[in-house]
Structure 1
Amino acid sequence: MAELEALRAAVLAALDDPDAAAGVDAVGRVCRACVRLLPVDGAAVSIMSDAQNRETVYASDAVSVALGELQFSLGEGPCFQAYATGGPVLVPDLAKAAAPHWPVFAAQVADYPVGALFTFPVQIGTIRLATLDTYRTTAGPLSAAELSVALQVADIAALALSGLAAGDDSWLDEDGRWLEESSTMRHRQVHQATGVLIIQLELPAGQALSRMRAYAFSHDRPLADIAADIVGRRLLLVEDQG
């Protein structure tokens, strides 16, 4: 497909740009092209290493941002499944899908205008480093040809990510503007709050984050807000809180 080759060429050109923002902009190009090439309404790319570390590099729209934040808050969702298994997670009809891997996310995502979810692992060789997360507002599967395009877009996303400078934690909105408060900044506060709980409750990092997620879920509050309260010493979690 000519547009895929044009996208690949544009990403390669961006990688030669010395501007520090070029790598993130290349990821943005991939997400925007994904929405043009596939029957989806939004796309995002998130770097991952495990359930405790997930950062959105670029999201094409507000719903994609919200879906990413929801998955990070809960520690479950199709992006975690795709990253763990190394295969695509295709949910053509979210309302009818059985989601044994992420039941809480499946229940809460019903509040969003999402009819289908398609998530693809992004990797360089055998190294898995991110996911390409897409959604559509109406239910419906991807055809074999569309699935092939999606997998090629995921490969180009891997190419784009290779151009990100080490430690670059900025991202762009759908208009190419730098966001003043990126998801990375909010996630950094979650990591800080996790550190506080490690000391206060003498827990391993994974259990500390799980405790914070459980508290946020049980009190119907965003994880980022709970983290801000812990870091700001407005909230103290004790042993019997969940």
Structure 2
Amino acid sequence: MRAFEVTGAAVSTLGDVLGSETIDASDAQAARLDEVQFDLGEGPCWDALRHSAPVLEPDLRTRASSSWPAFAAAIGDDRIGALFAFPLQVGPLKIGAVDMYSLIPAVLDPTQSKRASEMADLVARRVLQDALSRSSDEYTDDVGNPYSRRIVHQATGVVLAQLDISADDARLVIQGHAFSNDRSMMDVSRDILDGRIDFSVRQGRIEESE
């Protein structure tokens, strides 16, 4: 909020990886905008996550009804002027969204939008790291097994090459996939090394075969 001229902001998880939940909100209105989108399954946060791209609505009062009719009807009395949503994503893992609202119509220029996207990338890593740290050690460590660590290390290198991301982010992708599928990192790593899981994005989806 200090970086952009907005009234409020919220960070939320969405979808299957971490579930749908408001992690933090600047005020009750920001939290309500999240809750409405959770309940209805539509809105700028869902679109940002679905398309892996920012959603910028500078004049919500005149244009929201065509994009999100149920959401627009639900917040019609809230008098929101503008709403901006940025996806939280680590590699192919779609985690949630950051949304910012203004009580009056407002515009984010390309430089501001780029800066907000960069900030959302940092938030995404923190959100995923925090979620994994609260989960079982099965997903965040390898139970002290040196062989297991070698497998995860090798799989991290494969994912790094597939997605052209850092080693830390590649490991987060493996952790997040294991967590969301209730599997161990070692099992997922074996599937990666055997070619049963391929995080390369082809035609908008991750390849995974049994």
TM-score range normalised by the length of the shorter chain: 0.5 to 0.7
Partner of 2:106: 140
Residue 96 of structure 1: which of 62, 67, 77 is its match?
62
Q: Higher strand fraction: Structure 1 or Structure 2?
A: 2
For structure 1, the 5+ residue unaligned runs are 1-34, 170-242
Shift in Å at residue 159 of structure 1? 2.2
Partner of 1:122: 88
Partner of 1:6: none
Q: Does 1:83 align with 2:49?
A: yes
Shift in Å at residue 113 of structure 1? 3.7
Q: Determine the C-alpha separation between the residues in 2 that align with 1:88 and 1:55.
A: 19
Q: Determine the C-alpha separation between the residues in 1 that align with 2:113 and 2:85.
A: 11
Partner of 1:164: 130
Q: 1:83/1:54 Cα in 2 relative to 1: closer, same or farther (>3 Å)?
A: same
Q: Determine the C-alpha separation between the residues in 1 that align with 2:134 and 2:79.
A: 31
TM-score (norm 1): 0.51
Contact kept, 8 Å, 2:65 with 2:73, in 1: the verdict is: no
Shift in Å at residue 86 of structure 1? 1.2
Q: Determine the C-alpha separation between the residues in 2 that align with 1:96 and 1:108.
A: 14
Q: Does 1:107 align with 2:73?
A: yes
Contact kept, 8 Å, 2:49 with 2:94, in 1: the verdict is: yes
How high is the sequence identity, in percent, across the aligned residues? Answer: 41
Larger RCO, structure (CA 8 Å, separation 6 or more) = 1
Q: 1:156/1:111 Cα in 2 relative to 1: closer, same or farther (>3 Å)?
A: same
Contact kept, 8 Å, 1:94 with 1:116, in 2: the verdict is: yes
Give the residue type in structure 1 aligned to 2:107: P
Q: Does 1:73 align with 2:39?
A: yes
Partner of 2:3: 37
Misfit runs of 4+, over 6 Å: none
Secondary structure at the counterpart of residue 95 of structure 1: helix
Contact kept, 8 Å, 2:56 with 2:83, in 1: the verdict is: yes
Aligned residues: 134
TM-score (norm 2): 0.58
Secondary structure at the counterpart of residue 162 of structure 1: helix
Secondary structure at the counterpart of residue 97 of structure 2: strand
For structure 2, the 5+ residue unaligned runs are 136-210
Q: Determine the C-alpha separation between the residues in 2 that align with 1:77 and 1:39.
A: 21
Contact kept, 8 Å, 1:81 with 1:101, in 2: the verdict is: no
